[in-house]
């Protein structure tokens, strides 16, 4: 049995970090993907008894004898793909011991959490069957474009597609697609993977990667959005590496130190996300002209960036991009967890006409 699945990355237009603390946020999927091909030999005699994952872009390959996985994680013999399971602290320790012995190159050590998520999702859904997974991605890793979520969603989709828990419909552009209720299941499993990589994710990244398009997300609930205006964003990658788990933890620590001030910041972000969402969706007959809408969006992005600075997640490299775009009268904000990574700049339609 073999399947190839892919899932997109995302940009966050407003509300990152605050969304972890219950505020609304707005996100859109982008045309960059993580793709996984999963092969599970149906005849166990034809297999080499290994679970392998190849990260092709990086030229890395990791493998474990399934008997070894069984020894270390003995409770996963009866996988229940229809009931997403959280990885306990003990299971995570066991998985970490499996990954440690792979001697990941020091410069790539951040990949360990992705491998933990893969091992947890694979064994929880397929138990101890030998298999080979080949992963490629057009997304930059650890840059705010949701590489971890797109990895988890593509893994979850491929794993579930090879079970009887889901059924696939004729999709578009040559891909089969999941039914709506099956997408929920894909999303729930991906969230379990994101928890392993991020610590305390809000769920926005895996949700927009699973459902696509543009969404508003608040306290675990998704509202699909329909944009009524052209919205073009320039994405600048500062190429400064960072780790979402550490940045999310940093904001939580600041919230513990200054609960009232930080809650006020989160409330302000909630209003910004809601206003941004209503502008983007306001009907074309709205009395505001396109230019007026774009000016409001620019101002909201600047306000959101200011509040992200309050949360302590901006970075000198982000500030450089902000200053550079401002010289051209363009508004920007960081996107994703910040601390480096990518910056969004709204490209108003007048600029595009000028170009």
**Catalytic annotation, residues:** 205
Summarize as ranges the residues that interact with ligand MEV (CB under 6 A).
12, 16-17, 19-20, 146, 198, 201-202, 204-205, 244, 248, 336-337
Minimum distance from CB of 128 to ligand ATP (Å)?
A: 22
290/296 Cα distance (integer angstroms): 10
Residues in the chain: 355
Interface with Mg ion, residue 148, by CB under 5 A = yes
Over the window 190 to 209, marking each residue x when it contacts Mg ion by CB under 5 A and - when it does not, the resulting string is --------------------
145 binds, among Mg ion, ligand ATP, ligand MEV, none (CB under 5 to 8 A by kind): ligand ATP
Count the Cβ atoms, other than its own, within 10 Å of residue 83: 11
Interface with ligand ATP, residue 244, by CB under 6 A = yes
Asked whether 333 and 298 are in contact (CB, 8 A), the reply is no
Residue 209 has which token pair?
A: 């990667």
113 binds, among Mg ion, ligand ATP, ligand MEV, none (CB under 5 to 8 A by kind): ligand ATP
Residue 311 — φ and ψ, nearest 5°?
A: -75, -10
Interface with ligand ATP, residue 148, by CB under 6 A = yes
Asked whether 344 and 15 are in contact (CB, 8 A), the reply is no
56/271 Cα distance (integer angstroms): 42
In sequence order, the β-bridge partners of residue 29 are 10
Asked whether 25 and 57 are in contact (CB, 8 A), the reply is no
Over the window 96 to 135, marking each residue x when it contacts ligand ATP by CB under 6 A and - when it does not, the resulting string is --------------xx-xx--------------------x
Identity of the residue, 244 or 332, whose beta carbon is nearer to ligand ATP in the bound complex: 244
In sequence order, the β-bridge partners of residue 343 are 236, 334
Minimum distance from CB of 167 to ligand MEV (Å)?
A: 30
Among 62, 120, 128, 151, binds ligand ATP (CB under 6 A): 151
**H helices present in 48-179, as ranges:** 66-72, 89-100, 111-126, 147-161
Interface with ligand ATP, residue 190, by CB under 6 A = no
Minimum distance from CB of 33 to ligand ATP (Å)?
A: 10
Interface with Mg ion, residue 143, by CB under 5 A = no
Identity of the residue, 8 or 130, whose beta carbon is nearer to ligand ATP in the bound complex: 8
* DSSP count for the chain of H helices, then E strands: 11, 12
Over the window 29 to 68, marking each residue x when it contacts ligand ATP by CB under 6 A and - when it does not, the resulting string is -----x--------------------x-------------
Q: Which of residues 216-255 bind Mg ion (CB under 5 A)?
A: 244
Minimum distance from CB of 310 to Mg ion (Å)?
A: 22
Asked whether 41 and 20 are in contact (CB, 8 A), the reply is no
Helices 204-211 and 147-161 pack at an angle, to 10 degrees, of: 50
150/147 Cα distance (integer angstroms): 5
Which position has the token pair 């229809």? 82
Pairing of strands 131-137, 50-55: parallel
| Binding residues vs ligand ATP (CB under 6 A) | 34, 55, 110-111, 113-114, 135, 137, 141-149, 151, 197-198, 205, 243-244, 336-337
| Binding residues vs Mg ion (CB under 5 A) | 148, 244
């Amino acid at each position: 049995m073999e399947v190839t699945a892919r899932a997109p990355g995302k940009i966050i237009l407003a509300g990152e970090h605050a969304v972890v603390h219950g505020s609304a946020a707005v996100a859109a999927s982008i045309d960059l993907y993580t793709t996984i091909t999963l092969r599970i030999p149906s005849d166990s005699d034809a297999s080499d008894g290994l679970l392998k994952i190849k990260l092709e872009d990086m030229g890395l390959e990791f493998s474990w004898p399934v008997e070894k996985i069984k020894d270390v994680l003995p409770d996963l013999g009866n996988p229940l793909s229809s009931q997403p399971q959280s990885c306990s602290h003990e299971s995570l320790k066991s998985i970490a011991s499996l990954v440690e012995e792979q001697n990941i190159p020091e410069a790539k050590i951040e990949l360990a959490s992705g491998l933990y998520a893969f091992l947890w999702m694979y064994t929880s859904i397929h138990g101890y069957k030998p298999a080979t997974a080949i992963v490629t991605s057009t997304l930059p890793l650890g840059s705010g474009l949701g590489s971890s979520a797109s990895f988890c969603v593509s893994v979850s989709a491929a794993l579930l597609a090879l079970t009887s828990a889901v059924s696939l419909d004729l999709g578009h552009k040559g891909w089969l697609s999941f039914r709506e209720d099956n997408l929920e299941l894909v999303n729930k499993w991906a969230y379990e993977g994101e928890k392993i990589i991020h610590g305390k994710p809000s769920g926005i990244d895996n949700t927009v990667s699973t459902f696509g398009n543009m969404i508003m997300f608040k306290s675990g609930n998704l509202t699909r959005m329909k944009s009524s205006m052209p919205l073009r964003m320039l994405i600048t990658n500062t190429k400064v590496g960072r780790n979402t788990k550490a940045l999310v933890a940093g904001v939580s620590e600041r919230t513990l130190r200054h609960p009232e001030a930080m809650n006020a910041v989160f409330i302000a972000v909630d209003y910004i996300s809601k206003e941004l969402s209503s502008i983007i969706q306001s009907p074309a007959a709205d009395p505001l002209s396109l230019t007026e809408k774009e000016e409001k969006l620019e101002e909201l992005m600047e306000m959101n960036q200011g509040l992200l600075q309050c949360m302590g997640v901006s970075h000198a490299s982000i500030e450089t991009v902000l200053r550079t775009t401002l010289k051209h009268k363009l508004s920007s904000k960081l996107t994703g967890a910040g601390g480096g990574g990518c910056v969004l700049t709204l490209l108003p339609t007048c600029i595009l006409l000028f170009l």
